[in-house]
């Protein structure tokens, strides 16, 4: 799930739909492995901190929302794990409603065509940005979002303003950019999270829970050590190579920034504290590489990047250069492999559980 605003126009760039070679459905194993590192943490937290009896005292329905679900199958695995965890401590006759949310341009047809036939829940789609209120007040008992909240609601305008100290010339992300650029990204994340928490506080019942999983950094760690930042620097260098041989205009690169931010625990604690509607039940940096055997298939990773980000690159640079862009990136995969090896020596994923006060 990706969204970007230029001015006041909100545009969405969903993961590649369908089931083709570059589809998200066939290229999302890394996200699945990363999320699976939190599977036991989610189960343990639900068992020890979710008061199901109180939450269902006046209703026989337990409602779950997955925000930024994309096209599957990862969302189905996550929902099944949550349902099984809740069922262990819930009344036997409890019914489950699962809402799958993403932008209106998400491939909901593929999502619902591949729903597990033996699912034990009622399913519904809810299109729209999760930076807006999506559900009636006090209607959800649990909200889950995995690898979606790191997408900002928009690209800060300062990044493409040539007169701004945060003008991000020659780069497409903040990983190796100036402090002003990194600060601008951080401020936008804070604004977005304030909105996100505000609307979720209306939708989630008192005592309800929210599980958030996203790329993250240990406090005090420089953003250039995050794998995502290394990846975007790598893609940016491919674009600059294409500028040098005249395939892309330099201004096109200077006016493009990937709207993704990886927060630290401190970032999250501060914004949750300002909101005041949630208590922090769990917050830790986890290591997704523990589920990948410590081996990085860089060419496979580039395929995953294409499945997840082709839309946003195509929108800005045009269809005619996209195949060449990813072909060049694929051919340079050995360079990326060397750069990534040092990034996975510590945790790179933020796991957060919040409870509605």
Q: Which one has a higher pLDDT value, 311 or 11? A: 311
At residue 253, what are phi and psi to the nearest 5 degrees? Answer: -70, -40
pLDDT of 9 over the 60 cut? no
Check residue 243 and give its pLDDT.
98
Check residue 1 and give its pLDDT.
47
Answer for the pair 236, 253: CB distance below 8 angstroms, yes or no: yes
Instruction: Give this prediction's pTM.
Output: 0.92
Q: Which one has a higher pLDDT value, 225 or 163? A: 163
**pLDDT, tens digit, for every residue of 261-292?**
999 999 999 999 999 999 999 999 998 876 66
Neighbours of 178 (CB within 10 A): 15
Cα separations (Å) of 123 from 73, 100, 110, 138, 222?
14, 7, 14, 19, 41
Q: Model confidence at 95, in pLDDT bands (50, 70, 90)?
A: very high
pLDDT of 191 over the 60 cut? yes
**pLDDT, tens digit, for every residue of 317-332?**
999 999 999 999 999 9
- What is 15-73 written as a DSSP string? PP-SSSTT-TTTS-HHHHHHHHTTHHHHHHHHHHH--HHHHTTT-SEEEEEEET-TTSS
Answer for the pair 247, 317: CB distance below 8 angstroms, yes or no: no
**Dihedral angle sign, alpha carbons of residues 156, 162, 168, 171:** positive
**pLDDT, tens digit, for every residue of 110-150?**
999 999 999 999 999 999 999 999 999 999 999 999 999 99
- Number of residues that make up the chain: 357
Check residue 224 and give its pLDDT.
84
pLDDT of 85 over the 90 cut? yes
Cα–Cα distance, 290 to 295 (Å, whole number):
10
């Amino acid at each position: 799930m990706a969204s970007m605003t230029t001015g006041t126009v909100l545009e969405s760039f969903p993961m590649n739909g369908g089931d083709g070679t570059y589809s998200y459905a066939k290229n999302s194993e890394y996200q699945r492995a990363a999320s699976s590192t939190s599977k036991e943490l989610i189960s343990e937290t639900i068992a020890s901190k979710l008061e199901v009896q109180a939450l269902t005292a006046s209703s026989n329905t337990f409602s779950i929302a997955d925000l930024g679900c994309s096209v599957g199958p990862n969302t189905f695995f996550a929902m099944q794990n949550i349902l099984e965890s809740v069922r262990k401590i819930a009344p036997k006759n409890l019914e489950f409603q699962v809402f799958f949310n993403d932008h209106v341009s998400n491939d909901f047809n593929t999502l619902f065509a591949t729903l597990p036939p033996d699912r034990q829940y009622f399913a519904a789609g809810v299109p729209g940005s999760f930076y807006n209120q999506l559900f009636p007040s006090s209607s959800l008992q649990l909200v889950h979002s995995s690898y979606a909240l790191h997408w900002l609601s928009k690209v800060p305008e300062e990044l493409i303003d040539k007169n701004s100290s945060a003008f991000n010339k020659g780069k497409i992300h903040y990983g190796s950019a100036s402090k002003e650029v990194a600060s601008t990204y951080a401020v936008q994340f804070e604004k977005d999270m304030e909105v996100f928490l505000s609307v979720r506080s209306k939708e989630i019942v008192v005592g309800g829970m929210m599980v958030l999983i996203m790329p993250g950094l240990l406090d005090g760690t420089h953003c250039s050590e995050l794998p995502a930042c290394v990846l975007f620097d790598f893609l940016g260098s491919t674009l600059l190579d294409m500028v040098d041989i005249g395939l892309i205009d330099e201004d096109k690169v200077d006016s493009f920034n990937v709207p993704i931010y990886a927060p630290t625990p401190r970032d999250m604690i501060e914004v949750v504290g300002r909101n005041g509607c949630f208590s922090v039940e769990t917050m830790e940096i986890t290591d997704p590489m523990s589920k990948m055997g410590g081996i990085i298939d860089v060419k496979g990773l580039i395929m995953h990047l294409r499945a997840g980000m082709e839309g946003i690159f195509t929108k800005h640079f045009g269809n005619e250069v996209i195949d060449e862009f990813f072909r060049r990136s694929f051919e340079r995969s050995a360079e990326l492999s060397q750069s990534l090896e040092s990034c996975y020596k510590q945790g790179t994923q933020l796991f957060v559980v919040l409870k509605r006060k």
